[in-house]
Structure 1
Amino acid sequence: MSSSQSPSSALDASASPTSLGTTTLETIMALSLFGERSLAAASPANPLTAVARWIRKAQAARTRRAALSALLELDADRLGDLGISRQDVVAAMVAPAHAGRMLNTARARSARS
């Protein structure tokens, strides 16, 4: 603190958001309620991150389709050994987001009977 500054002005300057390394926007965002996050705050800042996420999702979907297609190539006896039927695999292909859950349910149902 310099001799020309009063103690209260030095305190005010040190308490400002910009002197702490934050911007006014960051301060406003920090003061907003948790449930009031804007869409801009929820989206990735780097567009490459969004592209990389899209590529990972596309690769996972392609892998899932290939695995389900491979299951369809198996004969009924082999599918029965796995605890699933051809209809279960077709149903999983129709709803790919829930494919794993659907096949696990079918296996559990088959194990009980």
Structure 2
Amino acid sequence: MFRERLKKLRLEAGLTQKEIAEQFGIKQPTYAQWESGRTKPKGETLEKFASFFNVSTDYLLGNSEIRNPEENINLDDFELLYRNTSKGLSDGEKKQLEIDLKKFLIERQKLINERKNKNQ
């Protein structure tokens, strides 16, 4: 799944293998091996690809269908939860609540997607 996603993202970006290799300071044959599935990059390189393409490493590896979980948070749900629970909190406590709610919503979405994938 990784190799397919990597190639798809590269093509969507309108880049050649050579251009991607140059962007990451690697040789084109090394990149080609990753895209062909002969080898896989190390974790640090996966993180760089995820950041470059604005996707999660879970998406890159085929563990999720969500490209970037933070972009898929339902803001209506988030705002409602935040408003109902932030009254009377300090600015620091409100910031921590925001972080915690985002994490919760991301994990919730992952569980929903896992269930969906199991049922297919």
The answer to whether the superposition gives a TM-score over 0.5 is no
TM range, smaller chain:
under 0.3
TM-score, length-scaled by structure 1: 0.24
- With normalisation by structure 2, the TM-score equals 0.24
Higher relative contact order (CA 8 A, sep 6+): 2
